Amino acid sequence: MTKRQEACLSDPPFWFRCINQSCQKEFDISRKLYQCPDCSDLLDVVKNYSSIDVPKLKKLFRQRRASNDPLDISGVWRYREFLPFLEEDLIHVVTMGEGNNPVLETPRCAEYVGLKRLRVKHLGWNPTGSFKDYGMTVAVTQAKKLGSRVVACASTGNTAASMAAFCARANLRAVVFIPEGQIAFGKLSQSMDFGALTLQIQGDFDVAMDLVQELSGETDLYLMNSINPFRLEGQQTVMMELFDQLDWKIPDRIVVPGGNLGNSSSYGKALMELKELGFIDKVPRLSIIQASGADPLYRTLLTSSRDLVPVKNAWTLASAIKIGRPISWKKAVRALQFTDGWCDVVSEQEIADAKAVLGRDGIGCEPASATTVAGLKRLMELGQSLDHEVSLDPDEDVVAILTGHQLKDPEYTVNYHLDNLYQHATYENRLMKKSGKLTSTFANEPIVVPPDKDTIISMLDL
Ligand SMILES: *Cc1c(COP(=O)(O)O)cnc(C)c1O
């Protein structure tokens, strides 16, 4: 009996399949797998949709918005027909009303990048302040279903914060591995507040990732990083929700930051499935933006390498994407191929300024999220130089995905506006030296004034 038959006979219409073209082995969905047991490559969740009525489902998704059932309120479980769970599994669902993030016009950003119109979908407005909640509700639900007791992740902060919260809700023990001294304070505070065992690993993210991956192979720990296919299944619903919000008028391009590349991978998979099932006719181009000091995907594409070109000691102030060996890189490449997309890089200066321009639109975000606006500006500028094949048309309908909340990393924002943001700073209990000063082009410094009405009135020109 082939693996495929084994999978199909086990009845649920979902199974794991190895993404390696020369392997493609299939496995039962109820196994605790993260990688192919045969060839160690990544796994996809494959779903067998024999009977899907597209107009009926679109209508149902819309109707659920008027319901008070927690499953319908969730911007993830509202689209549960796309998730690998049976009706009877839904008793395990752990939800906090995640999703439901608005799509917003950003006229100042549009002008800044040279587009006629630019919209953002702000996934930072989730229960724990980042898009990670979309995947975590699904992965923690699967952990419950499997009867796991302890779950773990390596994290630059947001995965840890999200996992800790959902585990607290689900009564699961959570262990987070974070790189010591390299995590934004807002995120660290969340892990602690939500009761996770917080291990500060003396190493960077890539070191922490290796460690937790080995441990989950050798022990009972259930791994919650985005190598876990259930995380990516949940994150796919960002696309379903976005298109539902746009009345299924599909944009030309979607821009997303790239770190461990789970998010871009899951968008690619969502687009493949939506196209195949006939929910969409057109596929938006995916643009993945990395920071120039943490750009392994960019380097890999640029050299047409068959293996990942890793970045040793990846560096960026956008700590959420400070990753040199992204786990899901192959799936991200597949997403770019399917959508005719590409990966680009932006500098620290470009990220800082784009974030400030978003702020002027009344929209706060993490530095990592601002790579999207910075990337669009870069694309527009590159397009004007004749020899460059990438181009961005001012008329394009673009949605930028903002990934994390402004208050995750307020220190960055304050330093920018005080004209005190440095690319590198070394601490030994106190600040020792700093270098690579960034220019605060859009600084908005507070002004010290005496507590005197007349002075203030004359200052305000009232
Ligand atoms: C996790 C994260 C990213 C990177 O997403 P990947 O799926 O790892 O590529 C970007 N921005 C924020 C705010 C994040 O939390």
Going from N- to C-terminal start, the domains of the chain cover 1-48, 103-127+234-417, 132-228+445-460
Ligand 1 contact via 127 beta carbon (within 6 Å): no
Can you tell me the mean pLDDT for 274-286? Answer: 97
Rounded to whole angstroms, the Cα distance separating 400 from 449 reads 39
Q: What angle do CA 175, 330, 39 make, to 5 degrees?
A: 80
Query: Among 121, 122, 131, 287, which is best to mutate for testing ligand 1, by the most ligand atoms less than 8 A from CB?
Result: 131
Q: Tell me what pLDDT residue 389 has.
A: 57
For domain 103-127+234-417, give its CATH number from 1.20.1440.230, 3.40.50.300, 1.10.730.10, 3.40.50.1100.
3.40.50.1100
Q: Determine whether the shortest distance from the Cβ of 110 to ligand 1 is under 6 A.
A: no
pLDDT band at 193 (very low <50, low <70, confident <90, very high): very high
Residue 323 C-alpha to ligand 1 middle, in angstroms? 10
Q: Can you tell me the mean pLDDT for 305-326? A: 95
Contact present, 151 and 167 (Cβ < 8 Å): yes
Q: What is residue 156's predicted lDDT score, i.e. its pLDDT?
A: 86
Tell me if 234 CB under 6 Å of ligand 1. Answer: no
What single-letter amino acid sits at 124?
Answer: G
Q: Is the pLDDT of residue 219 over 60?
A: yes
Q: How far is the CA of 314 from the centre of ligand 1 (A)?
A: 15
Judged against a pLDDT cut of 60, whether residue 9 lies above it is answered with no
pLDDT tens digit sequence for 403-427 = 999 999 999 999 999 999 999 877 6
Q: Cβ–Cβ contacts within 10 Å for residue 35, how many?
A: 18
For residues 119-139, average pLDDT: 98
How far does the centroid of ligand 1 lie from the alpha carbon of residue 91, in Å? 29
pLDDT at residue 16 greater than cutoff 60:
yes
Q: Sorting pLDDT into bands at 50, 70 and 90, what band is 8?
A: very low
With H, G, I as helix, E, B as strand and everything else as coil, classify residue 180: coil
Q: Is 320 in the pocket of ligand 1 (CB under 6 A)?
A: yes
Pick the residue whose CA is nearest to atom 1 on ligand 1: 320
What b-and-e string marks burial along 6-33, b requiring 16 or more CB atoms within 10 Å of the CB? ebeeeebebbbbbbbeeebbbbbbeeee
Give 223's strand partners.
Answer: 152
Which residues have a Cβ under 8 Å from the Cβ of 277 and sit 6 or more positions away?
Answer: 49, 52, 54
Residue type, 412: Y
* Position 438 pLDDT exceeds 90: yes
What per-residue confidence (pLDDT) applies to 427? 64
Mean pLDDT value of segment 279-303:
97
Distance CA 162, CA 176 (A): 11
Beta-sheet strand order (sheet of 14-18)? 26-28, 14-18, 43-47
Q: Do 103-127+234-417 and 132-228+445-460 share a fold?
A: yes
pLDDT above 50 for 1 = no
222-223 sheet: strands from edge to edge = 197-201, 173-179, 150-154, 222-223
- Closest atom of ligand 1 to 404 CA is 13
What spacing in Å lies between the alpha carbon of 369 and ligand 1's midpoint? 8
- E strands present in 277-429: 285-291, 342-346, 398-402, 422-428
Structure tokens at 429: 């209990």
Asked if the model's pLDDT at residue 4 lies above 80, the reply is no
Does ligand 1 have an atom closer than 6 angstroms to the CB of 157?
no
**Predicted confidence band of residue 461 (pLDDT cuts 50, 70, 90):** confident
Q: How far is CA 259 from the centre of its chain?
A: 8
Q: What is the pLDDT of residue 428?
A: 62
Residue 146 CB partners (closer than 8 Å, separation 6+) = 30, 32, 222
The residue whose CB lies within 8 Å of the most ligand 1 atoms, and thus the one to mutate among 403, 409, 412, is 403
Residue 241: its pLDDT value, please?
Answer: 98
Helix 185-193 and helix 158-170, axial crossing angle in degrees, nearest 10 = 20
Look-up: residue for tokens 């990966």?
343
* Confidence check: pLDDT of 96 > 50: yes
135 lines ligand 1 (CB under 6 A): no
The predicted model scores a pTM of: 0.94
Question: Residue 400 in contact with residue 119, Cβ under 8 Å?
Answer: yes
Question: From start to end of 308-428, where are the E strands?
Answer: 342-346, 398-402, 422-428
Compute φ and ψ for 423, nearest 5 degrees. Answer: -70, -35
**CA 69 – CA 404 distance, rounded (Å):** 27
Provide the terminal-to-terminal Cα distance of the chain, rounded to the nearest Å.
83
Of the two residues 383 and 395, the one the predictor is more confident about is 395
Fold of 132-228+445-460: Rossmann fold (3.40.50)
Residue owning the nearest CA to atom 2 of ligand 1: 320
- pLDDT number for residue 5: 46
Per-residue pLDDT, averaged over 315-324, amounts to 94
pLDDT in tens, 258-272: 999 999 999 999 999
Rounded mean pLDDT of the chain? 93
Instruction: Please report, for residues 159, 284, 293, 440, the alpha-carbon distance to residue 413 in angstroms, rounded to integers and kept in the order given.
Output: 21, 32, 20, 10
